[in-house]
Structure 1
Amino acid sequence: MGTRNDEIAGLLQEYADLIAITGGDAFKVRVYEKAARSVGGYRQDVACLDVGGLRRIPNVGGSIAGKIDEYLHTGAIHQLEELRARIPAGVRQLITIPSLGPRKAMVLYQECGVDSVESLEEAIRTGRLCGLHGFGEKTEDNLLHGIELMRKAGRRVNIGVAMAVAEEVVAALSAMPGCLRCAYAGSLRRMKDTIGDVDVLATARDAPALMAAFTTLPSVAEVIVHGETKSSIRTASGLQVDLRVVPRDSWGAALQYFTGSKPHNIRTREIAVHKKLKLSEYGVFDVATGEKIVSADEAEVYGMLGLPWIPPPLREDSGEIEAALRGELPQVVAEEDIRGDLHTHTDLTDGLASLEEMVAAAAARGYAYYAVTDHAPNLYMQRMTDDKALDQRERMRQLGDAYPEMCLLHGTELNIDPDGNVDWPPDFLAGFDLCVASVHSHFTQSAAEMTRRFVRACENRNVKIIGHPTCRTIGKREPVEADWEEVFRACARTGTALEIDAFPDRLDLPAELVRRAQEYGVLFSIGSDAHAVPHLSMMRYGVGTAQRGWLAPDRIINTWPVGRLQEFLAAPGARS
């Protein structure tokens, strides 16, 4: 079962936003924002803590601990409810528009009566914001683009949100007497970036009893449909979950059918027709006799079609059928292939856990190597200095004695400035075991400028990985524009790896670019970008993105044995 940390973190962030909307103290806003981040990334389930335990969470003082405790016992925070009552729901929704902050949302409401996303769009298009301080033509364009982004995302959520709900539901149903099998399917099983709703399949001795248990789970806010073999509910966060109970002997066929995708299923049904078979969610049937041939095992369903089992992330009708027929289906990377994490942060910069806590958690995952890559000084708000970096390096050397089975790498995440330069001079950078370089600002440069920026970073002999290359934040910020083929050529020429950032709101490099980059011989790294101990488990989403990009383990540097990785990190590469 999942924790309630994200739920409570969301409430604290909402409280911070409402304080800002109502013109409250900026310091108080930051206090609640920091507390929200700390609760969201805390290693324990905060629902199991008393007030004393809550106060031991970083950035959570007595007042905030009291609010969390109040929510855990009553289901509400009265001060939050009071703020909600003062601000119309439509105004609160405005701050979900990318590029629109709480203060500007309140100005729009007070000065122009804008109280919804729709009324904001209408106000921009009719010129009602003309002359309003802080809302020039460029700001209006950004707001319209933000509204477009928000609508494109719709009710979809990132894979991390959906996975937490799905695994909680599957675990709860699997524990029910009479439940024989239970698993999630759909786009979640295919590891898509965003999920519209969660599909869950089950087999059970008593389907109505399992349906009754499903519709009364604690996470259920609304029962949409309640039937004997299919029910749909909506969680408190608004995510729809559909449960289907299928016959035991139809499990494999149902799992294949409800995993999708629709275009993939059309292709498999076409193959069945050519073999004088019929494929449905109930099984594979002989057309002439109507006899069910196979249905209980998904691999047997594919086998009857003359295909090997196809990993779910590949099932998008993007060439997987043809590759399978030719015997050329890739053996894509699996999470167990990952030997270490090369992109993580501690509380020295913007992380939430100490160096010691992060190293211990990496060791508990069985990693052969682990890198800490805290931010470099040009990301000024992180307050990194030379002395802090050197002190952390010494602490890591000392920690290495306590973890002889794990190679500790002292790294840094550099900032690629608008000209392609990075923090620190070459001599200082040479002291790091690993340098990741990422773009953190000036996202609106032209494609030509951004391409030169990346190429120059690749040509820096100290840079080994380009972090979260497209800079996208799913549903909030579009990818930067660049000539990606030119970037891929530069990576291949210089031996610079491209990262697949596994954090669920990034998943960057996206799968489609991963697949294209392979054509140029590019190497990759999958990094969790963890800022707290629980974030280390985000690696699974990066692996899913790599799978969707048809990526085999050998092209990923953190699947390599430690010796091979160290040779790669030590090699200067082909630099200009």
Structure 2
Amino acid sequence: MKLTAAPQAPSTPTSAVKRSQAVSNEDIAAVFDDIADLLEIDDANPFRIRAYRVAARTLRALTVELAPLIARGETLPKLPGIGVDLAAKISEIASTGDCALRQRLRSTLPPGLVELLSIAGLGPKRIKHLYHGLGIETAQQLCEAAEQGHIRHVPGFGERLEARLLSAAQKGLGKDRRLPLGVVEPVALQLIEYLRQLPGVEDARLAGSLRRMRDTVGDIDILVAAAPAVVVTAHLIRHPEVSTILVKGRTRASVVLDSGLQVDVRVVKPADWGAALVYFTGSKAHNIAIRKQAREQGLKLNEYGVFKGQERLAGATEVSVYQALGLPWITPELREDRGEVAAALSGRLPKLVEVSDLKGDLHAHTCDADGANTLEQMALAAQQAGLEYLAITDHFLDSERLLKQIDQIDALNARLRGITLLKGVEVEILEDGSLGLPDAVLARLDLVVGAVHTHFNLTLRQQTQRLLRAMDHRYFTLLAHPLCRLINQRAPLNMDLSAVIRAASARGCCLELNAQPQRMDLFDLQCQYAKDQHVLISINSDAQRTADFAYLRYGVAQARRAWLEKGDVLNTRSLSALKSLLAATAGGRSQGAGN
């Protein structure tokens, strides 16, 4: 990661407004990430470091740009994890492009230290040791010290790590951007199976953000239970897709795959399995919260178990660890320190939605328009995936083709058994908020899925009004992929999503949680807000082909991270209940609205 030079402070109110309009939430989040990295290198309080990391993530989940609000003198909305101090820094960054804290931290540390974070295998703590132990401030100095054999003598490094760091620095291997969950998880599961094939391995599981099912993943963390004599790390580095070995020890290895993904494997004793799984699953914030719970009971919690003095009370299983703390087991998707510990203590943990709860999928495509398979092929694949109904929502550009498909669906339903096709469409929400098909055609459908595919660069007000007007339409059912983001390709729409969610609540519309790996749209925090506003979420695959129904599990994972239960999800309802709800929703909306 490279820090940008701090800009000069604006000299006039006008320049401040212009700068505020140019500073995005992503820019503010990047400054907070820089501050967190600098604080970690400086060995600051971990709670303080975490506060900036949490704030950065919250900012990236917003669809309302904060800088224009600040420029107009408006009060910032209440944001999770952002108190008065951080809110003031947001205003400072929005106005100047930087903040005094980051400038002060940068002035106390050599600028090259942060650039070392781009080298795989180096984190803030190791950089701190290299800096204080050898005076290393740049990648060039790192290479020189490694070539001269100096790094191996720094505590916690060694000869092998020295060689790996040299190789990584010379090859320019850096920390890749975060990749979609649905892209990384299949690779990780194959590695899990490979490790489980080694005799003596008692268990191997995902850890870290992958186990918590974050929508994007930076690297693959795997935990293995095996006796000390089992050569797990040697087995790992023999995997044919391992291209670079960063670290290899008896209980730990870090490698880079041919794809560029970094894999970190930890080996623990079976007796420590549960405690280690809790620790390495994280999140850091959740671990801090449960350690606090342990301290309040006079206990100690670490990666080896729960202890009372020298006596170990638990550690072999996750359940035993949580029970020793007076807590029920908390599912990994909830381990983000968003109130899960308090809910567990009071018996209020939600019964989260499961994949098996889904009765249907309300967004899918066929070869009649933008998909790869026929109506019947999609229907049978949905049935094979355990669904009872499937909405066909091709993105048609003309009414004639859609009317023809409606007749085809009626004919196919007459002979299908065990699966019902619903007649739908993914209709374009035009720039002015009107829908791209006439009412006479939309009236013949079971549901209408509205979506934005063009004019992504409207102002916040224009984009928000566009969506609100679309939802006013008498036949509008569901807003598809509301953010319109494509991970690592397109940023979320600049709109007031909270206003859209509140309008959906008032008008009886639903919002989609699109499970396509490149979308994962909405974010978990936004789904949680929709739940609070009594807006139903539809978890859909947006399937383009028969295999895509497998993506539904990623949507369910995102919903679970949002604390959604079965009743919060539209398509957990039976077909008859769904049809009743859709009819009531359409009937309750103004009959005067429309194109």
| TM-score for both structures, normalised by structure 1 | 0.70
Structure 2 CA distance for aligned equivalents of residues 399 and 162 of structure 1: 37
Aligned to 1:24: none
- The question of 1:177 aligning with 2:177 is answered no
Cα deviation, 1:467-500, whole Å, max 9, x if unaligned, reads 0001111222211122223211211122110000
Per-residue deviation, 1:153 = 9.6
Aligned to 1:556: 569
Task: Indicate if the aligned counterparts of 2:403 and 2:441 stay in contact, CA closer than 8 A.
Answer: no
Aligned to 2:182: 160
Cα deviation, 1:22-56, whole Å, max 9, x if unaligned, reads xxxxxxxxxxxxxxxxxxxxxxxxxxxxxxxxxxx
**Partner-residue secondary structure (3-state), 1:442:** coil
- The question of 1:485 aligning with 2:483 is answered no
Per-residue deviation, 1:310 = 1.4
Task: Indicate if the aligned counterparts of 2:482 and 2:511 stay in contact, CA closer than 8 A.
Answer: yes
- CA 1:221 to 1:356, structure 2 compared with 1: closer, same or farther past 3 Å? farther
Per-residue deviation, 1:206 = 6.3
| Within-5 A mapping of 1:80-159 | 154-159=176-181
- CA 1:445 to 1:300, structure 2 compared with 1: closer, same or farther past 3 Å? same
- The question of 1:512 aligning with 2:532 is answered no
Letter in 2 for 1:569: L
- The question of 1:212 aligning with 2:234 is answered yes
Letter in 2 for 1:547: R
Task: Indicate if the aligned counterparts of 1:207 and 1:228 stay in contact, CA closer than 8 A.
Answer: no
Aligned to 1:311: 331
Per-residue deviation, 1:176 = 3.0
Cα deviation, 1:257-292, whole Å, max 9, x if unaligned, reads 1110001101111111111111111111112xx111
Structure 1 CA distance for aligned equivalents of residues 349 and 516 of structure 2: 27
**Partner-residue secondary structure (3-state), 2:495:** coil
Aligned to 1:445: 458
Per-residue deviation, 1:395 = 2.7
Aligned to 1:8: none
- The question of 1:283 aligning with 2:297 is answered no
Aligned to 2:58: none
Per-residue deviation, 1:386 = 2.7
Letter in 2 for 1:163: E
Per-residue deviation, 1:211 = 2.3
Aligned to 2:588: 574
Task: Indicate if the aligned counterparts of 2:304 and 2:315 stay in contact, CA closer than 8 A.
Answer: yes
Structure 2 CA distance for aligned equivalents of residues 492 and 376 of structure 1: 28
- The question of 1:396 aligning with 2:409 is answered yes
Per-residue deviation, 1:163 = 0.4
Aligned to 2:278: 256
**Partner-residue secondary structure (3-state), 2:576:** helix
- The question of 1:469 aligning with 2:482 is answered yes
- CA 1:207 to 1:541, structure 2 compared with 1: closer, same or farther past 3 Å? farther
- CA 1:346 to 1:502, structure 2 compared with 1: closer, same or farther past 3 Å? same
Aligned to 1:342: 362
Letter in 1 for 2:541: S
Per-residue deviation, 1:397 = 2.6
Task: Indicate if the aligned counterparts of 2:200 and 2:230 stay in contact, CA closer than 8 A.
Answer: no
Aligned to 1:428: 441
Aligned to 1:301: 321
Per-residue deviation, 1:436 = 0.6
**Partner-residue secondary structure (3-state), 1:468:** coil
Per-residue deviation, 1:391 = 2.8
Task: Select 1:267's aligned residue among 286, 289, 302.
Answer: 289
Aligned to 1:523: 536
Task: Indicate if the aligned counterparts of 1:502 and 1:526 stay in contact, CA closer than 8 A.
Answer: yes
Per-residue deviation, 1:207 = 5.4
**Partner-residue secondary structure (3-state), 1:251:** helix
Structure 1 CA distance for aligned equivalents of residues 229 and 204 of structure 2: 12
Aligned to 2:260: 238
Aligned to 2:340: 320
Task: Select 1:187's aligned residue among 209, 218, 221.
Answer: 209
Aligned to 1:41: none
Aligned to 1:415: 428
* % identical aligned pairs: 43
Structure 2 CA distance for aligned equivalents of residues 573 and 315 of structure 1: 41
Which range moves more in the overlay, 222-231 or 559-568?
A: 222-231
Structure 1 CA distance for aligned equivalents of residues 587 and 460 of structure 2: 26
Structure 2 CA distance for aligned equivalents of residues 189 and 429 of structure 1: 42
- CA 1:485 to 1:254, structure 2 compared with 1: closer, same or farther past 3 Å? same
**Partner-residue secondary structure (3-state), 1:374:** coil
Task: Indicate if the aligned counterparts of 1:208 and 1:229 stay in contact, CA closer than 8 A.
Answer: no
Per-residue deviation, 1:417 = 0.7
Per-residue deviation, 1:422 = 0.8
Task: Indicate if the aligned counterparts of 1:376 and 1:423 stay in contact, CA closer than 8 A.
Answer: no
Structure 2 CA distance for aligned equivalents of residues 243 and 564 of structure 1: 47
Structure 2 CA distance for aligned equivalents of residues 208 and 181 of structure 1: 12
**Partner-residue secondary structure (3-state), 2:538:** strand
Aligned to 2:90: none
Cα deviation, 1:493-525, whole Å, max 9, x if unaligned, reads 221100001111211111111111222111110
Task: Select 1:386's aligned residue among 396, 399, 408.
Answer: 399
Aligned to 2:560: 547
Per-residue deviation, 1:174 = 2.0
Per-residue deviation, 1:421 = 0.7
Which range moves more in the overlay, 514-523 or 461-470?
A: 514-523
Per-residue deviation, 1:213 = 2.2
Structure 2 CA distance for aligned equivalents of residues 451 and 196 of structure 1: 32
Letter in 1 for 2:241: S
Per-residue deviation, 1:402 = 4.4
> Tell me, which stretches of 5 or more residues in structure 1 are unaligned?
1-151, 378-384
Structure 2 CA distance for aligned equivalents of residues 503 and 258 of structure 1: 27
Structure 2 CA distance for aligned equivalents of residues 410 and 229 of structure 1: 56
Letter in 2 for 1:310: I
Task: Indicate if the aligned counterparts of 1:346 and 1:532 stay in contact, CA closer than 8 A.
Answer: yes
> Tell me, which stretches of 5 or more residues in structure 2 are unaligned?
1-173, 591-595
**Partner-residue secondary structure (3-state), 1:342:** strand
Per-residue deviation, 1:205 = 4.6
Indicate the RMSD between aligned Cα atoms, in angstroms.
1.8
**Partner-residue secondary structure (3-state), 1:375:** coil
Letter in 2 for 1:575: R
Structure 2 CA distance for aligned equivalents of residues 153 and 420 of structure 1: 41
